[in-house]
Every structure is written in structure tokens, then in C-alpha cells.
Structure 1
């Protein structure tokens, strides 16, 4: 070959050749997919790194297909002339930022799934897809629901979760045939009253928004079976919520509720989740409306009493009362035959010994039954502010004070809810001389460990310093060597002193609602620990080797923290009877696994331990 011939040819580029082959391969794949789509009416383009939908997709039912160019009478395999209209289009897990107006060229579409993209706007032509039944746009960047969506009169399933929606249009009420709606994980602050027109919706998910209330019209959604409003800012609910006669599951956890309306017509309700609110009581009238409930969650509220009318709930199987202010249970609960689980961690129980509670629900019910026949008459001990039989006042400490007779007889000092920053000296003297073993100083304004607790180190077994402003514990805590239970919830703690390693009798510790970024390492030296409640902190990792040292650990609550990864080795902590991990950003285990309970969760984790 001459030199001129060599100069006229482009130099060989192996990389360019590879790219050309790759593009040609992608084109061939697209042709194959389009050919199959014309035969089946379904096209799946998910997870292909698409930044735009190829134009031939929109024209799949318009342009003459390539296979039509070679027609033979013997060709019965390709039968291109029998093509069907595209009805299902899946564009999930790509890099799409928008969808073309040419989507109108696919008028037969009944399903569009474009979740997990970067879509920030929708074409007006979407409203022309009159046959659309299912529209999935979750995990995108939409800031509003455009009017074109509200023109889809046959729509039954609408999922726009994990976007940036600020509000919903009033026209949403025109989607009369909706059955499944998911607007969770957005920024909604209110719901339009027109949602009352959505009378066929059976599942309505508005969790993880910024809703402050619900409109009364929600009571008109009479087909509703599942309503999830978890993680909002709801402070009140309309009475009309009680009109939902077909409601089976109601999720209201992590809101600001101080009151629950009477759910008078909710006779089908099976699950009621009210945890992490500020509800002070469940009245007999409330319980009267919940007779079909099998799962009642009222953990992390402000309940002080469980009324005897709880026995009306004869179908109740699981009752979660964690982290309230309950001091006793009605003995009649022992006769609730279907009740399989009563969870009481984090309550100041006084009438029931902790060892009975820790034996499990069956033993607890057995104990309650045994007390029905032997229930003692109420104590006749003088109460606060009441004069003793000798005629002198039993109150010391100034103000409301404490009753000296009660302290000396019950060996218990209750100096809670006084908004105090210190304790009068005469109260300490009384406690020390009486050999007090239980001290409750919760709901005050303490900013540090009370120094005079050192007077009680030889007798103190139960200490509650919850709901104060304590940012650090004194090393004196290590002197309380008889301590069995320590409640430090709702303070400002970031760690615990190493001196606590001497608390070898400690079995229960509550650290919820502090500022911990990890479980303090000193806890792993307290080998008798049976319960660690550390929800609502900033914990970002789990020290499995440390936890495995706690062979008596039965309850571990790490819910609502910042844990990104749940180590599978946690499944080896087989002593756990209650493991709470919900409300963390970890993607696995999925919520469905967490909901199956501790035994199933531990088994799931063990199955994923690398071999």
C-alpha cells in the first residue's frame, strides 16, 4: 500500500472501537425490547442509566417495525402485523429528569412506573392517558402534583412518595377511583378538604410529612382500611376520624397528640399504633370503641393508669406500654386469654416486682390472677399534706414537700415534678435516716448529679433522674453499688463515666432521649444488665462484641437513632427477647422484617452472617 493510502485512513483507536461496539449492542438490545413490546404490550427499561427515553419508544406503535421489511409467507414467528398497543411502561431506576410530551403517542398505557429517577416535572400530555390505572413516581424530585395527574380519571394507584411535595392540589379529589395512595416522605403541611371525595381509597400513606392536623373530611373516606400518618406534627385529630367503619390499621406514631377522639364506628380496627406522642390517658370510653383491636401500641406517652376496662379488649394479643409513667396494672388483665405480649420496659412499676415482669407475659398474667382474690385494702398511711394521727404535720421540705411517714414506712422518696434545681437538706436527712432504697427525682430542673445522693449509697436500689437537664454524671454514681435500676431518660447526656463499672448489680438502665452518639462502653462491663433503653439518641453504630458480653440482656431499644447499618452479627445476641430498631436510616432489615418481631429479626440477621 502506498504512503498516500496510509495517510488517508484514520489511525486505529481500540477504545473508539469498543465504544462503537457497545453502542451497537445497546441499539440491538433496544430493537429486541421494542419487538417484544409490540408482541406483549409491555416494555421494561428499568436500570439502564437512561438520561432520556429514546424517541422510538414513544413511536413503538406508530412506526413500521424493521421486521416488516422482509415479508415472507412462511414467516409465522414474527407476525408483526398482529402487534398490540403498549399498556405497561417501566422506566424505574434511571437518570431521567423529565418525560417527553410524546407520551401522548401511547394512549393505551395503563401502567407507568418511573420511580427512582430525577424527575422534577411532568408533561401536560400525561393527562391525555385516559386508560392509566397505575402511576408510580416515588423517589424523584417533584415539588407539586400537576393538574395533568388529576385528569387521570381511571387512576387507581398513585405513588409519589420520597419527593419534595409541599402541597396537594384541590383537584386531587376528582380522582374518584383511587384505591391506593402514597404521599409519604414529602413536605406536606396540610391536606385539602377534597380528599373526602376519595371514597374508594383503601390504603392512604401520608407518613413522614409535616402535617399539623387532618381535615374533618377524612371521615368521608369510608373505604379506608389502612391509614399511616406516622412521623408528622399532628397535635389533634378530628372526631370524624371515628367514622371510618372499615378501618383496620391506624398508624399515628411520632406525632404530638395529647388527645385521641373516640373511634366509635371503627369496629373493624385491628391495629392501633399511638407510640411516641403525649397522650395522658386511655379512658374506658376509648377502650369501649376498640373491642376488635389485637395490637395496641401506646409506648412513649404519658400514661399513668391503665383502667380495668382494658379487659373489654378480648381479642388483644399485643400491648406495648413502654416508657410511660405506669406504676401498676389492673389485676383483671391476668384473665385476658388471648394476650400474648405485654411490654412494660421503662415504667416506674411499684406494685409488681421487676423479676416477675422479666419472666415474660405468661408469668406476669399468672401473678395478676393470683392477686385478684388477695387484693389488699388501700393503704391508710397519711398522704402528702395530711396531718399524722398525733396531730402534727407529716410534710417536710417546704412547699409541697414530702410526707415523712410515707418515706419512712415505704423506704421510698418521691421528689418528682417540682421544677426544683436542688433538694432541701431536711429531705436528704430524712431519706438517709429512713434507709430509703427508691428515689424518684424526675421532672425537675437538675443540671447536675445531686451531690447528697452519696448519703444513700448503702441502700439505694432504684433511682429515677429522668426529665431533667443533666449533661454529665458525677463519678459518685459509682459508689451506688446496690443500684438495680437507673432511669436517666430525657436529659442531655453524651456519655457515662467509667466509674459506673462498679455497678455490678445494675439490671435496668434507661437512656432514651439524650445526646449519645454510641452506647457508652462502660455498659458492656455491667454483666447483669437485662434492659437497655436508648431510643431517640444520635447513636450511629452497634458494638456487637460489647453486647455479646451481656449474657443476661433481654431488652435492647435502639429505635429512632442514626444507625446506617445493622450488623448481621447482632443476630447472635440470642438472649434478646425484645429488640427495637425502627426509625433508623438503615435500609436493611426492611420494615416488614422489623414488624415480624424479635425472634424473626434475629433469625434474619443470623442468616446473613458471612461464612
Structure 2
């Protein structure tokens, strides 16, 4: 049957646009496919193909390639020659690596599906997929997200459910077109502050992680759906701090003075700081006190503030209050805090 289909396709020559060979128990990609130079769609799902044939590199008009549910072990180098490719399905294989240069020519790719594979990491070259709008890598073994992924400026949906992620890079704030982010069933401990900069994000799923608290400003996001069940969120249990005012180091005192003077547009310091890169590096780590609003380096106390979720969010049933991370610079500010702020850890 496979042979007859290929013979019929070959007889069509350049006029053949679609080849579908699903569920044919194919053990080797037919090299004759390389003769179908006008092919647009190639569907080889549900076979036993361990690798692609070199001749696939001639299919420069191909826009959709589906190799889902085969036995591939890598994303092959031949992919870089498919310069017209828009949709690439590689789900349900045994992929654990990427060949060098595999992404080099995929400038038009808009969809990448790598679900149900054995990936532990993504290459930095993922940043070359400039047109990508949809990426799904559910059910793999990813332990981190490369910061390069966060520079895919057209990405609108990112699915990373059921991996082994422990953190999300701060650079995620650069995914300004992201509308849907799925991070369920990982081991994420903390969400980055940069997440709150995603103005177009509408769906966020972080169910089944290890998150206790959300970054300040999280409640102002324009979400429509938010799911967080299965996380050990902080509960409203007050902690009393008995520690008196700290004695700051000279570096802390100087840093606080410089940062707060810069905030007031002190022209002398604004020009002088350019000559001291080490000082610039230190103050770049500055934070705002939630009570007095002044800058500091060393956190005196991390607090939690409980706020109700916005009424227009579709949320997990068990979410009644959102615990927000609030940082305080001193014992004095802690004693003047709002009664809804609770200390949670001495830093």
C-alpha cells in the first residue's frame, strides 16, 4: 500500500502537494520523497521511523511536517533545510537531544510540538525560531528554561506542563506577546517578578508546583484564567518579630544613600556613578521597601500580604486570598506596617 501511494505521488511530480502515510508500520522514511520538490504537507504519524532520510533536505517548499509517534531520538540536522516549514510535530518520540544547527533555517516556523519525549534541556539555538508563536513541550524532563527562549518575541502560547522545572527565568518578561502560559505539575518554588510585566497574558496555569507566595504586583495582572491548586500557599498565620533595629554595614549605608539620592535625581551622583561599575552593580540589586518606599540592598524581613483575587479572574476553587511577597527594609518599618502584613522569614 505504501509503495502504491508513493508511486502515485511520484507520477504527479511537482503537482503533488500532500503525502499522508499514517499507521503504515513504516520503519524507514522513503528516500523517494526527496523527488517531490513541490510537496507542502508530509504526514508520517504513527509509524516506526528512527530517523529522517537525507533526501528530505530537498523539500524546501514543505510547510507542515508531522513525525509524531515514531521512534526518533533527536531533532535532526536536516530540519535546517526546510526553510518554508511552518508547523513541525515531533510528539511521542524518544527525542533527548538536538542536532547541531537543527534550528538554523527554521525562520518561518510558527508551531513546534515536542510533547511526550525525553528532553532534559533546550539548546540556546531555540532563539533562532523568530516566527514561533506556539510551543508545546509537555511531558518531558526539562529542568530549566534557557533565557534564550524568552527572546522569542512572537510567542503567544507556551506549554511546559509535566516537566521537572524548579524556576522560571526573570527574562520571561520579554515575552511581551505571550497570552497563555502552562507550567502545571513541575517543581517550581518561586515565580519571578518579571512575570507581572506580561501585559497580554490571559491564562496562567501553575497547578501542582511548590509555590508559597506570589511576587508583588501579581494581583494587577490582566488574567482571565488562573489555576494554582496543589501549591502549598501561605496561610494567614501571623508571625511576631522581636528583633530590634539592625546595625548596617558601611556598604549597606552607602548603597541606601546613593540609591535614594539617585531616585531624587541628584545630578552629581548620576554623573559620578558612571565612573564606578562595581557600585553600579551593587545598586542594581536594590529593592523598594513596601512601607517607606525607600531603596535598600539587605532585606530586613520578608513579609506576606493577603489580597483577594480580582473578581474577573476565573480561578481555582480553593483560592480565596492571594499571598503576595512584600519586602521590608528595617525593624522600624515593620513596627509601622499595615496590620494585613505578616512576617514570614528572617533574612
* TM-score, normalised relative to structure 2: 0.69
2:112 aligned to which of 199, 204, 209:
204
Q: Equivalent residues in 2 for 1:55-454 (5 A)?
A: 103-107=9-13, 108-192=15-99, 193-261=101-169, 262-288=171-197, 290-313=198-221, 315-328=222-235, 330-334=305-309, 336-344=310-318, 364=320, 376=339
**3-state DSSP of counterpart to 1:308:** coil
Alpha-carbon distance change, 241 to 256 in structure 1, aligned in 2, over 3 angstroms = same
Structure 1 distance, partners of 2:342, 2:149, is 42
In structure 2, the residue matched to 1:371 is none
> By how many angstroms is 1:265 displaced?
2.4
> By how many angstroms is 1:333 displaced?
4.2
Alpha-carbon distance change, 343 to 145 in structure 1, aligned in 2, over 3 angstroms = farther
Does the Cα contact within 8 Å between 2:9 and 2:16 map onto a contact in 1? Answer: no
Structure 2 distance, partners of 1:305, 1:337, is 20
Alpha-carbon distance change, 148 to 324 in structure 1, aligned in 2, over 3 angstroms = same
Does the Cα contact within 8 Å between 2:41 and 2:64 map onto a contact in 1? Answer: yes
Tell me the alpha carbon deviations over residues 336-383 of structure 1, each in whole angstroms, 9 at most, x when there is no partner: 353122344xxxxxxxxxxxx5xxxxxx479x9xxxxxx6366799x9
Alpha-carbon distance change, 378 to 137 in structure 1, aligned in 2, over 3 angstroms = closer
Structure 2 distance, partners of 1:229, 1:249, is 11
Higher strand share: 2
**3-state DSSP of counterpart to 2:158:** strand
* TM-score, normalised relative to structure 1: 0.40
Does the Cα contact within 8 Å between 2:305 and 2:340 map onto a contact in 1? Answer: no
Question: Gapped runs of 5+ residues in structure 2?
Answer: 236-303, 325-337
Alpha-carbon distance change, 320 to 52 in structure 1, aligned in 2, over 3 angstroms = closer
Alpha-carbon distance change, 211 to 129 in structure 1, aligned in 2, over 3 angstroms = same
Alpha-carbon distance change, 379 to 249 in structure 1, aligned in 2, over 3 angstroms = closer
> By how many angstroms is 1:224 displaced?
0.7
Structure 2 distance, partners of 1:318, 1:146, is 43
Alpha-carbon distance change, 236 to 166 in structure 1, aligned in 2, over 3 angstroms = same
Structure 2 distance, partners of 1:230, 1:135, is 23
Alpha-carbon distance change, 143 to 333 in structure 1, aligned in 2, over 3 angstroms = same
**3-state DSSP of counterpart to 1:195:** coil
Alpha-carbon distance change, 365 to 279 in structure 1, aligned in 2, over 3 angstroms = closer
Does the Cα contact within 8 Å between 1:305 and 1:327 map onto a contact in 2? Answer: yes
> By how many angstroms is 1:166 displaced?
1.3
In structure 2, the residue matched to 1:432 is none
Tell me the alpha carbon deviations over residues 275-332 of structure 1, each in whole angstroms, 9 at most, x when there is no partner: 11111101323322x221111111111111123321231x201111111111248544
